[in-house]
A = this chain, B = another copy of it.
Amino acid sequence: MASSSSAAASQQQHETVPDDHYRVTYEEIHEQISRSARLMRDQFRPDVLVPIMGGGMIPARVLRTFLKVPSEVDSSKKRNIPIQAIGLALYEEVAGTSAESMGREVIRTQWLDEGTFKRSHHAKQPSPSGAGAAGGLLGKNILIVDEVDDTRTTLQYAYQELLADVQKGLAALDPAQRAALPPTRFAIFVVHNKHREGGKKGVLPLMAGQGEGWKLEDQKVGQDGVGEGVWYYSADETGDCWVDYPWETEDILEHNRLATLAKKLGVNTGRPPVKET
C-alpha cells in the first residue's frame, strides 16, 4: 500500500506540462469550425474555398463539410462547394534560400490553375472567356482559409494577389459580361487569430462594421464589381503564444494527453490577455 500511494504521489508530482504551448485537439478544431461555418453560411455564403497550403488544408476540408449547398442536379441532395488551393511559403520554409532573404518574403509554390477551374462544372454558368487565371473566381464569394493569422504577412499576400487577379479578370470582360456577373467578394477564415504583442506586420482592409447582424447585401461594391474590404472570421482568438496543431504533432496521443492535462491545471489556455479598461 505504501509503495502504491508513493507511486500515486510521484505520479501527481509529474503531472506538469513540458512547455507553455497551447495544444488544440482535432475535435476542438472541428467543433470550432462548425460554429464559424454556421455564421458564414448565414452571412458571407462562400461559393469557393481557397485554402493556403499547407496550413489551410485541414481547416478547409472540415469547413467544406459544413458549407454544402443544395445540388443543382438533384435538389434533394447536397453538393460540396469547390476548392481551389494555393501554395504559399515564407522563404525560410523552402530549400535553396539565401540566409538574408529568409522569413521576409512570401513566395508562391502553387497558384490558381488557369483554365481547368473555369471549365469545370463547378461554375454556376460557364465563365466568361478571356478572364485569365481568376476566371473561375469572378462573381463568386471567395473564402481564403488558413490555420492561423499570426504576422498576417501570408494572408495579406494571398488577399492582394487574388484581388489583383480578379480585378484583372473583370477588366478583361466586355461590359455586358461584367454586368451579368454578381459582385466578387472576399473573406478570410482562420482557425486562430493570434493577438501579437508587437501587432501584425501584414495589413488587411477589414470590412468596417462587420457584425453578427450583417448581411452580404450590406457590403458596398466598387465600380470594379468587387466588394469593398474583406470579411474576416476567426474560429478563436489566442494570445501571443505558441499554438500546437494536432496535425503537426508526431505523437497524437501524447498531444491529447497534454491538452487535457493543461485544461485540468488551468495553464496554457491560449487566451488573449484581458484588456485593461
Contacts and interface: CB of A to CB of B under 8 A. Distances in A.
Contacts of A113: 110-113
A82 interface: yes
Query: By CB atoms of chain B within 10 A, which of A80, A87, A111, A256 has the most?
Result: A87
A79 B93 contact: yes
Contact of A95 (B96, B99, B124): B124
Given A26-B26, A111-B116, A95 B79 contact: yes
Interface stretch (A64-72, A162-170, A179-187): A64-72
How many identical chains are in the complex? 2
Interface stretch (A228-236, A241-249, A267-275): A241-249
A61 B64 contact: no
Interface of A: 26-27, 30-31, 34, 51, 53-54, 57-58, 60-62, 64-66, 71-73, 79-80, 82-85, 87, 89, 91-97, 99, 102, 107-114, 116-117, 120-124, 246-250, 252-253, 256
25 contacts: A26-B26, A27-B256, A31-B253, A34-B250, A34-B252, A62-B247, A65-B247, A65-B248, A65-B249, A65-B250, A72-B96, A73-B97, A73-B102, A79-B93, A79-B95, A82-B109, A83-B87, A83-B109, A84-B87, A87-B116, A94-B121, A95-B122, A109-B117, A113-B113, A114-B114
